[in-house]
Amino acid sequence: MATYIDIHPVDPQPRLIEKAAAVIRDGGLVAYPTDSCYALGCSLGNKEALQRIRDIRKLDSKHDFTLVCQNFSQMDQYVMFNNSLFRLLKNTTPGPYTFIMQASHETPRVMQNPKKKTVGVRIPDHRVAQALTEAVGTPIVSSTLLLPDREDPPLLGWDIKEELDHVIDTVIEGESGYTPTTVVDLTSGEPEVLRVGAGDPTPFE
């Protein structure tokens, strides 16, 4: 059965954050809230947990996962960007955006698009998600929690626990958003909006 952790969305309790972070560091799979919607998250390079996410969401092996980062310092290790991209990112993060960027050598190959060598990254505007990435110490490999037989993402941690109790390790309750991120491809130097979601696409048009 999945452990259920109720964390304050504005002032996350460090003890509870560390409890959830330890699950990720130890190879577990966690459902956690973000500013867009709930995500499934695991540690970097955790092939077993990535397969568990694919099985839950019924995804194929080509699905691109996202590195959820605490801040730019953490993101800078895993993607490559110049000053103009940095300014663009700084004006729109933290927020409900996922950016497709060129992966650095620090990014595990299992995380990269096999042909383009790209990876999705984001910095959520959510206290629980940011505290969790800080406690884990590295970005959290994540995928939006969209179940294959549902049109909308789940809104409450307790509902996720009831639905996925035997296939994930921990569920965090913490007031999530309810719309997936806006996805922006930055690999060509010119922003291309691939999906309009919770984030305003205007800055990239």
Rounded CA separation 146/58 (Å): 10
**pLDDT band for position 149 (cuts 50, 70, 90):** confident
- Cα-based angle 155, 123, 171 (whole degrees, multiple of 5): 35
Helix (H), strand (E) at residue 16: helix 14-25
Higher pLDDT, 188 or 2: 2
Distance CA 60, CA 126 (A): 29
pLDDT tens for 159-188 read 999 999 999 999 999 999 999 999 999 998
Report which of 177, 205, 178 is spatially closest to residue 191, judged by C-alpha positions: 205
Res. 62 pLDDT band, cuts 50 70 90: confident
Q: Which domains does the chain have, with CATH numbers?
A: 3-58+80-147+157-195 (3.90.870.10)
Mean pLDDT, rounded, for 79-107: 90
Return the number of other C-beta atoms located less than 10 Å from residue 127's C-beta. Answer: 19
pLDDT value at 138 more than 80 = yes
Cβ(24)–Cβ(31) below 8 Å: no
What are the structure tokens assigned to 54, written together?
């694919």
Is pLDDT at 46 greater than 90 in this prediction? yes
Phi/psi at 31 (5° precision) = -95, 125
